[in-house]
């Protein structure tokens, strides 16, 4: 199994036992997450911007309007940090200090490049199919005007780490005899039945890939 080397940039310093550097673990979390947050520093002001992402091999795809401050920052060759988190449960401990959450998180580091016009189509296909598998062949495809207004960044994943917490509370030894309930409240992401657009003029059936949508 391949791993990302531990460096000063990606090494987990607090609770290092929760860290994972294996590519398979990191990519699995990244692929399951629907949204990521991109951190940049612009004119001595930090910004964290939520956006949609897709992994293509060992690269991350980000897209937005050509006027996007985030994408222009990346286009200029500045390094970025990308983070995403999946929340799995609330950990209820006997002592307030030990309340926690079960989670799977990933932090990535890299420098992106702007894709050329002839590369955009394939990248948009990857972004669409990653979010809604089957939709690319069941919708109007991007026009030349739309492609021109869209900037897509491809960032080679140069450095990454995952941090994971699972299991029950970890209380102080003297608290286990106390009369306080302790445990975990599991959290699951649930997708409900599709709701049709009120402007849908025809009785078009819901595509099967949307009826059974899950991650």
Which residue(s) pair with 86 in the sheet?
Answer: 104
pLDDT tens track for 79-137 = 999 999 999 999 999 999 999 999 999 999 999 999 998 999 999 999 999 999 999 99
Residue 85 within a domain: yes
Residue 117 has, within 13 A of its CA and on its CB side, a CA count of 7
Alpha-carbon gap, residue 50 to 68, rounded angstroms: 12
C-alpha–C-alpha distance, residues 80 and 162, integer Å: 17
Residue 202 maps to a domain: yes
**pLDDT score at 1:** 59
161-202 tens-digit pLDDT: 999 999 999 999 999 999 999 999 999 999 999 999 999 988
Using only C-alpha atoms, the chain has a radius of gyration, in whole angstroms, of 21
Question: Is 10 inside a domain boundary?
Answer: no
What pLDDT score does 161 carry? 97
Under a CB-based contact definition with an 8 Å cutoff, are residues 88 and 184 in contact?
no
Asked if residue 128 is part of any domain, the answer here is yes
pLDDT of residue 168: 96
Summarised one tens digit per residue, pLDDT across range 30-80 is: 999 999 999 998 888 899 999 999 999 999 999 988 888 888 888 888 999
Domain count, the chain: 1
CB 59 within 8 A of CB 23: no
User: pTM above the 0.85 mark?
Assistant: yes
Q: What is the pLDDT of residue 105?
A: 98
CA distance 83 to 81: 7
Closest CA relative to residue 147, chosen from 110, 118, 183: 118
In a domain, 11, yes or no: no
* pLDDT for position 176: 95
Q: Give the span between the Cα atoms of 182 and 169, in whole angstroms.
A: 7
Query: If you search the block for the tokens 């947050």, which residue do you land on?
Result: 37
| pLDDT score of 64 | 87
- Look up residue 78 and give its DSSP letter: -
Here the CATH number for the domain that contains residue 26 is 2.30.110.10
Rounded to an integer, the average pLDDT of 141-148 is 92
Domain assignment of residue 4, yes or no: no
For 112, the domain range is 16-211
3-state secondary structure 111-180: ECEECCHHHHHHHHHHHHHHHCCCCHHHCCCCCHHHHHCEEEEEEECCEEEEEEECCCCCCCHHHCCCCC
């Amino acid at each position: 199994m391949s791993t990302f080397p531990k460096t000063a940039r990606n090494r987990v310093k607090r609770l290092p036992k929760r860290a994972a550097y294996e590519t398979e673990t990191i990519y699995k979390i990244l692929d399951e997450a629907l949204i990521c947050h991109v951190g940049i520093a612009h004119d001595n002001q930090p910004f964290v911007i939520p956006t949609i992402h897709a992994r293509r091999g060992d690269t991350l795809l980000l897209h937005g309007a050509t006027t996007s401050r985030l994408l222009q920052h990346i286009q200029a060759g500045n390094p970025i940090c990308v983070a995403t988190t999946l929340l799995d449960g609330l950990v209820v401990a006997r002592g307030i200090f030990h309340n926690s959450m079960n989670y799977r998180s990933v932090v990535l580091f890299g420098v992106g490049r702007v894709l050329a016009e002839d590369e955009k189509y394939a990248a948009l296909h990857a972004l669409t199919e990653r979010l809604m598998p089957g939709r690319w062949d069941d919708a109007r495809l991007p026009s030349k005007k739309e492609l021109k207004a869209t900037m897509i960044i491809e960032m080679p994943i140069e450095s990454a780490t995952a941090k994971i917490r699972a299991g029950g509370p970890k209380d102080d030894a003297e608290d286990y005899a106390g009369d306080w309930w302790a445990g975990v409240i599991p959290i699951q992401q649930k997708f409900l039945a599709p709701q049709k657009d009120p402007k849908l003029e025809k009785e078009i059936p819901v595509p099967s890939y949307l009826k059974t949508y899950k991650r």
